[in-house]
Structure 1
C-alpha cells in the first residue's frame, strides 16, 4: 500500500494515490430511536436504491400524545447535512442530536437527507439525491404517499429547508430548483442557511486577510467535490454569479454566520446579492460573535447555540 496522497483535506478526508480513502471524522452513525430527552421519534426510510438515497424521519412528542394536538398537521423541515460534500451523514450522532433538538423545540416534522458523498460520487450527485428526496416528499401532498408519518403529520403547505455549510449550499440550490421547476406538491415557506459554503474568485471583505493558503484550501475542496466545475465563480459555488438567483422559491431566508468563520463574508454577500436579484422575499442575517464555523453543532448547549436555535425556531413558526 502506498502512503502517497492524491488529496489531503485533513481533518476531513485524505485520498491516497492507490485509491484508498480515509475519513477520520464524521463516519460513526447512531440508530434511529425514541430520544429520551425530547421524546422525538425517528426512523430510517430508503427512498431509492439506484442511486442509494435514504432519509431519517423525525416526529415530535406532540404527535404521539392522545390529544387534539396530535392530529394537527405540523410544518415540515427538510435538512441537508454538511461536511464539505465528502463526509457526514444524516445518521451521524451530531446530526441526529441536532435534528432531535430542532424538531422538539420547533414542534415540526423533519426529513434529514442522506446523499452520496464525494469523491466516490462527485457533484452533482449530492444535488440530484437531494432533489430525489424532495420529489419523494412531494409524493405525500395528497396524504397518499408511501410514508404514513408524512401523510398523517406533515403540512406540505408549510415546508422549510435548512442545512449547514455544504448542506446550506444544497438547501439554497434546492430552493432555486423549487422556484424554477415549480414543485406543485408543496409550498416552500423559508430557508435557513447555517454558515453556508459559498465562495468566489475575487476575495471580499475579510477574506483578503485570510491568506492565500486558506483561500486556496476552500476553493480546492470545491474543485475536489466537483471536478467538472468551471471554478470558484461557478453559480453552484458563487450565487452572486447566478442569473437565476431571483427565482428562489420561497418568501423568506435566514442566513446564519459566525464572526470567526472564514465563510462569514460570503453569508453576508449572499444576503446582499439576493436582495438585488429581483427576488421579492425577505432575507435576514444572524451573526454570532466570537464563534467559529458550525459551532452550534460542535457545542450545541452553549449560550450562543441555544440563541441560534431559538432564532431558527421563531423563523419557522
Structure 2
C-alpha cells in the first residue's frame, strides 16, 4: 500500500510540474504564435520569425555543368541589398541583361538558394544572358513596399554600372538596349510593379518583362489569402490595391507600362491562374501598344519549372523564356 501511495504522489508531482511547464511555455512570447504562415514561416509574439523553408544558401562559383560564372555584389550597404551576377561562357559581342526576382511569397527564399542558383545558371547558359539575381528584403521584418524599393534600387544600379564604363561584367559584356526583368511567383509580382514604376518615372528602357506564374490576386479571394497579403504588407494595402491586383488599374495606367513586350506563363493547375490570365486580357484591352504573349503549361502546378530542370515541360518553359529574350522582332 505504501508503494502505491508513493507512486500516486509522484504522479501528482509529475503532472503538476508538466502543467506548470506548459503554462510557462504558453505565456512565453518567444513561443506564442502571432501568425502561422505555414509552409513558409511562423512569426511569434516576441517578433521572432522561424522560416520553414528557403534558408539554405550556396556560394557563387563556376558551374561545372554549364560553365556559367557567378559572383555576389552588395548594391546598398545601408540595407544589405545584394545581387548575384551570372555570366555565361564568352560568345562574342554584348549580351542581353536580365534582372531576376525570386519567388517565395515575399517572405522566404533568396538569390543564394540552391534551387535559384541552379535555375539561373541554366537560364544564363540557355538564353546567353548576364543575369542579375536580386536578394531583396523579406517580410515580415521588411514588409512591402521594401521589396519594390529594392527592385528600383537594383534597376538604377544596373543602369549606372553599365553606363560608367567600369571593368565590370555588366559594363564589359552587357547590352543596355536589351534589358529584361523577370521573376516567378512573388518575383513576378515585383517584376510587374518595377516595370510600372519605370514606365511612370523613366530612367531605364526595359525591353521585355517575363512574368512566370506571378503572384496576383483579386478582391474576391479566400480569407487565408487576404490574411497572408495583409501580413506581407503589414496591412498597408488592401486586396483592391494594384500592387496585388493589377486588374484594378485604369486603362491609362496600363498604357504606361515601361516595356513593349510581356511574356506571361501560366501553369494550368495554379490557383492563381485566373488572375494571371486576366492580367493578359486587361493589358491587351487597355490600348497598350506592346505585344503580350501567353504561355500555358497543361497539367502542372505553381512554379513547377524551378525543379527538375531536365524534365520536358520545364525544359520547354525555359526554352520559351530564352526565345522571348532573344527574339529580334
Q: TM-score, normalised by structure 1?
A: 0.90
Matches within 5 A, 1:264-279: 264-279=273-288
Q: 2:225 aligns to what? A: 218
Measured in 1, the distance between the counterparts of 2:263 and 2:296 equals 11
The counterpart of 1:31, out of the listed 47, 59, 71, is: 59
| 1:194 partnered with 2:198 | no
Which runs of at least 4 in structure 1 moved beyond 3 Å after TM superposition?
none
| Long gaps (5+) in structure 2 | 1-27
Measured in 2, the distance between the counterparts of 1:90 and 1:234 equals 27
Q: 1:235 aligns to what? A: 242
C-alpha displacement of 1:143? 4.6
- Is this contact kept in 2: 1:199–1:219, CA < 8 A? no
- Is this contact kept in 2: 1:143–1:152, CA < 8 A? no
TM-superposition CA deviations, 1:145-198 (whole Å, max 9, x none): 5x6111101001101111000000000011111111111xx4311111011101
Give the secondary-structure state (helix, strand or coil) at the position aligned to 1:75. Answer: strand
Q: Give the count of matched residue pairs.
A: 296
Q: 1:211 aligns to what? A: none
Measured in 2, the distance between the counterparts of 1:171 and 1:230 equals 18
The counterpart of 1:88, out of the listed 101, 105, 109, is: 109
| 1:55 partnered with 2:64 | no
Measured in 2, the distance between the counterparts of 1:13 and 1:163 equals 21
C-alpha displacement of 1:4? 2.3
Measured in 1, the distance between the counterparts of 2:242 and 2:207 equals 23
Measured in 1, the distance between the counterparts of 2:304 and 2:223 equals 23
Rg comparison, structure with higher value: 2
Give the secondary-structure state (helix, strand or coil) at the position aligned to 2:53. Answer: coil
Q: TM-score, normalised by structure 2?
A: 0.87
* Stretch of structure 1 that moved more, 259-268 or 272-281: 272-281
Q: 2:95 aligns to what? A: 74
Q: 2:318 aligns to what? A: 309
The counterpart of 1:159, out of the listed 179, 189, 210, is: 179
- Is this contact kept in 1: 2:136–2:151, CA < 8 A? yes
Aligned CA distance change for structure 1 residues 314 and 275 (closer, same or farther; 3 Å): same
C-alpha displacement of 1:265? 0.9
Measured in 2, the distance between the counterparts of 1:100 and 1:122 equals 29
- Is this contact kept in 1: 2:308–2:314, CA < 8 A? yes
Measured in 2, the distance between the counterparts of 1:140 and 1:49 equals 16
Query: Cα RMSD over matched residues?
Result: 1.3
